A and B are shown apart, each in its own frame.
Chain A
Amino acid sequence: MKLTDLKESLNLKLINGNIEDIDFDGVYAGDFLSRAMSHVSSGNLWVTIMTNTNVIAVASLSDCAAVILAEGMSLMPDALKAAEDNDIIVLSSEDTVYDICVKIYKTLNENE
């Protein structure tokens, strides 16, 4: 599914990156970095409430399509800089991790 469509239907706010022509195929939700490291596959979305630079390092190493920050979180200043430098797409939502995942699930099903 296209990230631009997801942004629209979940009313996500773009914090960094260019989402034109970006697709995603699967979601991982969780905050422990070494868990995310092995479970976020290339092209996945990663939903988390963590906002420090280490999140950007893991997102970059795992080739995730985008990071979605839950509960209206924004990136720490040095994390935003790292996201800019490494072209990591970051979006945020006012919803909780659970609600974001449910909404992504519904959106995916509607688009099938």
Chain B
Amino acid sequence: MSEAVNFHFDVDGENFSSAGAASANVKKKLRQLGLSPEVIRKVSIAMYEGEINMVIHANGGTADVNVDDDYVTIILADTGPGIPNIELAMQEGYSTARDNIRALGFGAGMGLPNMKKYSDEMDVQTEIGVGTTITMKVKID
């Protein structure tokens, strides 16, 4: 591939049942681009967790995915409440998800740890009352 490819999605914060649509779409596109199953799996997990977090914790946001020769880069940006203590939030098992959200199967406190684990680079910018932007890179080898 010589030219980079970009995808943009608006992630709806109201609709829990369609949550994950952007990730599903990206997965399809990466398949069409012929990326390896391992890379697609890593991107799918990392992006799905980030997308879901924007839906359940930040009332939606945007997802931008860029594919070049070396990396799939995923940028998830929201204007939600921000994450007060990112070190705490990154810990396995930590979750502020409410009961109605937990009843859907969310709230294991594994989303951010999964994002860290399945991306090769991850950067979190967050400010209380302003929002959160998470950038993840998955290496294409």
- Chain A residues within CB distance 8 Å of chain B: 31-35, 37-38, 42, 50, 52-55, 57-58, 60-63, 78-79, 82, 86
Contacts and interface: CB of A to CB of B under 8 A. Distances in A.
A42 B118 CA distance: 15
Contacts, number: 74
Interface in B11-33: 16-20, 23-24, 27
Interface of B: 16-20, 23-24, 27, 37, 41, 44-45, 48-49, 52, 104-111, 114, 117-118
Contacts of A82: 17
B50 to A, nearest CB: 11
B119 to A, nearest CB: 12
Contact of B111 (A34, A63, A78): A34
B110 A52 contact: no
A78 to B, nearest CB: 5
A79 B105 CA distance: 14
B44 A34 contact: no
Contacts of A32: 105-108, 110
B105 A55 contact: yes
A61 B44 CA distance: 6
B24 A57 contact: yes
B30 to A, nearest CB: 12
